[in-house]
A = this chain, B = another copy of it.
């Protein structure tokens, strides 16, 4: 159910290139946090990252993590899942895009989709209303195809 993702090294390499191009600094902590987010199977909470950070950093505090996360969000290297209070690596950070997610409540799997249909209809809604979107949040919470099949086979 999770999106096919590039290897961790590949992601980090792309991140470095993007940050260089943009003239922003992918510092050690930021890189480490990105690594932790992307290495995770699914979405990870900030304090989960904080815990894992303890293995490589002396005595990390919440602001350390949140600062790194803010940076990574700004750079589009990760996304925030508002409905889960969690973060997940972007599966295609190179080009800007409206993040759209399918979030399975059964297995916890999250897949990032990029539906032009959704993007278009969102754009149309904006045109109609004159609203100018800075950050779209599209999160569908439900059950993935896999979990529907393995669901309680009662009756």
Contact = CB atoms under 8 A, between A and B. Distances in A.
B136 A140 contact: yes
B137 A131 contact: no
A130 B145 contact: yes
Given A82-B137, A138-B137, A130 B148 contact: yes
Interface string A126-149: 101111111111111111110010
A118 interface: yes
- Chain A interface bracket (under 10, 10 to 19, 20 to 34, 35 or more): 35 or more
A23 interface: no
Top 6 nearest A-B pairs (CB, nearest first) are A130-B145, A117-B121, A133-B142, A82-B82, A137-B139, A121-B121
25 contacts: A82-B82, A83-B137, A102-B131, A104-B131, A105-B134, A113-B125, A115-B124, A117-B125, A118-B118, A118-B122, A118-B125, A120-B121, A121-B121, A125-B140, A129-B145, A130-B145, A130-B148, A132-B143, A133-B140, A135-B141, A135-B142, A136-B141, A137-B137, A137-B138, A137-B140
Interface of A: 82-83, 100, 102, 104-105, 111, 113, 115, 117-118, 120-122, 124-126, 128-145, 148
